Every structure is written in C-alpha cells, then in structure tokens.
Amino acid sequence: MDNYLSVKDQPLVSIGIPTYNRPQGLRRALESVIKQTYQNLEIIVSDNCSTKTETEMVVREFMKKDERIQYFRQEENIGLFYNKKFIFEVSHGEYFTWLCDDDERSPEYIEVCLEEFNKPNASPKLLLVNSFSELKDPVKGKVLAVDQGCTTVGLPMIQRYQNYISSIYKEQAAVGDLIYGVIKREALRKAMAVQPNLIPWDHVFLAQLALDGEFYTIPQRLMHSAPGGLSNFTAMSEKEKRQKKIKSQRIEDFLTINKPGWVHVICLRGKIWSSVNLSLWEKLQLIAWSDWYYFKFYSLRKIQKKYR
C-alpha cells in the first residue's frame, strides 16, 4: 500500500469476528487485529448469544482502546453460518475478511494482502488473497501443521476450479484458512447471496469463488490458527463430529442432516451449472470430474480408516 495515502484515502477493510464463549481466544484475536499495520479497518464482533459474560467484557475493554471496534450481540444463538453472514451484511468495507475468535494474524497481514490487490500488474480477476497458515498450539508454541493455500492466478476457469477442489483434499490443507482470506466485497456478496447452510458450506462457497475469479496465497506464514475448532474433536467419532457441527450451525434441512455427502455434490453441481462463462460441454465435463474427484476422495478415506 502506498505510504503517501492517508488512512481515510485507503480502501476500507472489514474484519468480522464471530464469537461464542471463547473470551481468552477472543482476546488474542482482537490483540492481533488492533496491531495491524494497515489502519483503515472496520472491526465487527458478533457475539452469538454467549452464556459467558466475559465475552462481552473482553470486547468492551478493547472498544475503550480502539474506536474501530463494533459489538453486536445476537438475542439467540443463530448458528455459526448465519452469524458469519450477519457480520458481512452489516459491514461496509470494500474488502472483507472473517477471523475466528481463537485465531491471530501477523501485524502486516492485511497490508500485505492489500498490496497484492493493488499491484500495477495485478490481475483484474483476483478476488481473494490469503497467506500460508500455521496451526499452532498457543500454550506450547508448537506448529502442528501448515496450510499452503491455493493460487489460481492466470489459470482458465476450469483449472481454477480443479486446483481449488484438489487443494482441499491434500495433506497440506490441514488448517483450511482459505475461507479467511481477504475477499473483494462484490465477489463475496454474490457468492453469499446463494450460499446454503450445510456442514461444508465453506467448500461450496469457495468453489463458487473459484469459478468467479482468482485466488492468490502469499508464501509467508501470516495466518495463525489455534487447535480446538469443530474439526479438531479427535476423541469423537465421525458421526459425533457431524452432529456437533449440525448443532453448531443450526442446520435444520432433512437432506442436509441425513445425506450431507449427496447435498454437497448437488451443490457443487449447481455452482458449475449456473456459470454463464462455461459452454454446455464444459459444464458436463467439469461436473463429471467434480463428482469423480469427490467420490474418489471419500472412498479412499473410508479404506484408510478401515485399515488403521
């Protein structure tokens, strides 16, 4: 970002933090946000009806130090998906990014991401920028895994989609922080308007973005995630994890609850079929590839579990 630009002349970036009963994690997240070198920020915290009063106390404490922070409290728990959607709908930034309430960002994260969007040779199709992300134990300081993201700059639409879908099934995608990249508002608005609430909603949402434009992952570890999310209940069975996610996201649709795999595949098909930039033949080819890749991955995972 050009140094001669005053803060008010810089594009507004909205940072949305959905939170629920994680006051200590929220404290870390807010500390990392207010230390960002990029200054023109709108910081929105949406409390999903926490039962712990400490959650609001932490936010109020930070609001006294930083006037950029806004606090909303839901009257009832609306689920993680709808809480994230709410934050985006009340935001105003030209760019938007979500931040989990137990994650952190390096001080230069937003600034470096914005620099990618504003380079003279930046692709006009670029709509999401993030960085390498590390899963780190906040107590022991040990790095548990590193996610190398997904870069699709310069690729045609079909390859962008295939690269993204392939990336989420690789071992390096252990953190899944592509969804928490900095995203152009209009692209996010378009994708969110037709996004259903399902367990892997982020996979389907990002598939839409992959068809609409390009991703770039900065090869620096500027995103830091803490273990303890819904995908990290290692002592639970797959069924128990799924039930936990259904409850957390307030999913009520019968098919989404009982046939999540099929709903996932159908949603991906829908994203491809509704694209106006693919020919009929290209759509049929990409749907066939998408179905094959999805079932190939899950068949392989079942075999691996069987012989563990």
List the chain pLDDT tens, one digit each, 308 residues.
Answer: 555 456 768 999 999 999 999 999 999 999 999 999 999 999 999 999 999 899 999 999 999 999 999 999 999 999 999 999 999 999 999 999 999 999 999 999 999 999 999 999 999 999 999 999 999 887 787 888 899 999 999 999 999 999 999 888 775 566 678 999 999 999 999 999 999 888 889 999 999 999 999 999 999 999 999 886 544 444 556 666 667 777 777 777 666 677 777 888 999 999 999 999 999 999 999 999 999 988 887 655 544 444 34
Question: With the C-alpha atoms ordered 132, 291, 236, 84, is the resulting torsion angle positive or negative?
Answer: positive
Distances (CA, A) of 96 to 13, 87, 199: 6, 10, 22
Q: Is 167 exposed, middle or buried (0-12, 13-18, 19+ CB in 10 A)?
A: buried
10-102, CATH topology level: Spore Coat Polysaccharide Biosynthesis Protein SpsA; Chain A (3.90.550)
Residues paired with residue 221 on neighbouring β-strands, in sequence order: 132
Q: Give the span between the Cα atoms of 142 and 135, in whole angstroms.
A: 9
User: What does 171-182 look like in DSSP terms, one character per residue?
Assistant: TT-SS-GGGGSE
Q: Which two tokens stand for residue 282?
A: 């290209």
Q: Give the span between the Cα atoms of 58 and 213, in whole angstroms.
A: 37
| CATH code 3.90.550.10 region(s) in the chain | 10-102
Q: Is 131 left (phi over 0), alpha (psi -120 to 50) or beta?
A: beta
Q: Is 278 left (phi over 0), alpha (psi -120 to 50) or beta?
A: beta
Contact of 199 with 256, CB cutoff 8 Å: yes
Question: Considering the entire predicted model, what is its pTM?
Answer: 0.89
Q: Give the span between the Cα atoms of 59 and 69, in whole angstroms.
A: 8
**Predicted pLDDT of residue 298:** 65
**Predicted pLDDT of residue 172:** 59
